[in-house]
Amino acid sequence: MFSDFRMHVIGVPQIAPKETNSVFDGADANEDFGLEQVTGNRDDRYMFRTAPLRNLAVSSGFMHNGCFLTLEEAVRHHLDVFASARSYSPQNLDEDLQGPVGPIEPVLRRVDPLLSEPIPLSQGQFQDLVQFLRTGLLDPRVRFENLSSLIPKRVPSGRPTMIFEAPPATAAGAGEVRAAEAFARVEEVELSRPHPNPSSGDVSLALSLPQAGPVRAEVVDLAGRVVRTLEPGSWRSAGTVMLRWDGADATGRPVRNGVYFVRARVGQGLLRQSVVRVR
């Protein structure tokens, strides 16, 4: 499993959500004392178990609190925990986690001797290590496109099925996880023909959702380039979602005459409908 399964202090930055039903530790309720919460022993403060390294490529966050969103960031932290922890910023996390970080110096005073000194690696060595963690320890069967098919369409009780999170891959397609994206299994989604079409004014389309889920919709040109984002991935309830395009690009300028496509992604489904613009 590529883990010693032991408890260590590795200088993980302390983050706490602005709103939570969990009681955090410390005078300002923004710390996580880790193993001490279980043992009551102050010497165990900030200790957490080494997580197995298998299938890291499908993880949506790293460390016990998800403070790092990329595998590169997590590896760099291990190579110099003091510099990493002291320069840490939560700006790339969800808004709820972007508040002030908890005190880090008390954590660093307890760092495991294994990480007390920086570990020098060349850029090539660093890239090799990341690639080994990302692909060498990955079982392709755990990829989202494989596991998502196991989500049942319905259950005997008739209650809604669970909502799972699916990490989006980077544009490079290397499997690097940037952030978790809410996902619901949505089937039989319908996208109506735009009205009016062709059009010189606003264009409307109806997106029918049989089940709640994240909706991302954008206008693209014939080359597949995004012209305008209509829905950024917002969570929408079941029912009809109206998509409207005023014929302008992302800068607000009217697009040229021609054929465009409204592309909508809902759950696992990708829909496309042509739109003709005339002026």
**Percentage with pLDDT > 70 across the chain:** 87
**Whether residue 105 has pLDDT greater than 50:** yes
Strands 7-8 and 258-266: unpaired
58 with 143: CB under 8 angstroms?
Answer: yes
114 versus 163: the higher-pLDDT residue is 114
141 versus 72: the higher-pLDDT residue is 72
**CA 142/CA 26 separation, integer angstroms:** 38
Q: Residues with Cβ < 8 Å from 113, sequence gap 6 or more?
A: none
Burial class from Cβ neighbours inside 10 Å (0-12, 13-18, 19+) for residue 21 reads exposed
Do 25 and 108 fall within a single domain?
yes
**CA 73/CA 62 separation, integer angstroms:** 9
Do 197 and 122 fall within a single domain?
no
Q: Residues with Cβ < 8 Å from 260, sequence gap 6 or more?
A: 219, 220, 221, 222, 227, 274, 275, 276, 277
Mean pLDDT of the chain: 84
- Please state the rounded mean pLDDT for residues 157-176: 54
Measure the CA angle with vertex 232, ends 224 and 161; round to 5°.
110
Question: Domain for residue 46, yes or no?
Answer: yes
270 versus 106: the higher-pLDDT residue is 106
Indicate the helix (H) or strand (E) that contains 165: strand 164-166
Q: What is the pLDDT of residues 256-279, one digit of tens each?
A: 998 898 988 876 667 888 888 876
Question: Domain for residue 271, yes or no?
Answer: yes
Q: Which pLDDT score, from 0 to 100, does residue 196 have?
A: 85
Paired strand residues for 188: none
19 versus 43: the higher-pLDDT residue is 43
**CA 245/CA 203 separation, integer angstroms:** 5
Q: Which pLDDT score, from 0 to 100, does residue 44 have?
A: 97
Q: Which pLDDT score, from 0 to 100, does residue 265 have?
A: 82
Cβ atoms within 10 Å, residue 160: 12
Q: Which pLDDT score, from 0 to 100, does residue 165 have?
A: 57
Question: Domain for residue 23, yes or no?
Answer: yes
Do 118 and 195 fall within a single domain?
no
| Count of the separate structural domains present in the chain | 2
Q: How confident is the model at residue 224 (pLDDT cuts 50, 70, 90)?
A: confident
Question: Domain for residue 54, yes or no?
Answer: yes
DSSP alpha helix (H) spans, 200-266: none
Which residue among 117, 136, 155 closes a domain? 136
Q: Which pLDDT score, from 0 to 100, does residue 214 have?
A: 80
Q: What is the pLDDT of residues 169-206, one digit of tens each?
A: 433 333 333 323 333 344 456 788 888 888 888 899 88
Do 132 and 226 fall within a single domain?
no
Do 126 and 206 fall within a single domain?
no
The domain spanning residue 210 has which CATH number?
Answer: 2.60.40.4070
> Pick from 89, 92, 74, 102: which is nearest to 18 by CA?
102
Question: Domain for residue 249, yes or no?
Answer: yes
Question: Domain for residue 173, yes or no?
Answer: no
Do 125 and 213 fall within a single domain?
no
Question: Domain for residue 218, yes or no?
Answer: yes
**CA 171/CA 267 separation, integer angstroms:** 18
Which residue among 136, 154, 175 closes a domain? 136
DSSP state of 110: T
Question: Domain for residue 127, yes or no?
Answer: yes
Which structural domain range is residue 18 located in?
7-136
Which residue among 100, 116, 136 closes a domain? 136
- Please state the rounded mean pLDDT for residues 83-104: 90
The domain spanning residue 82 has which CATH number?
Answer: 1.10.760.10
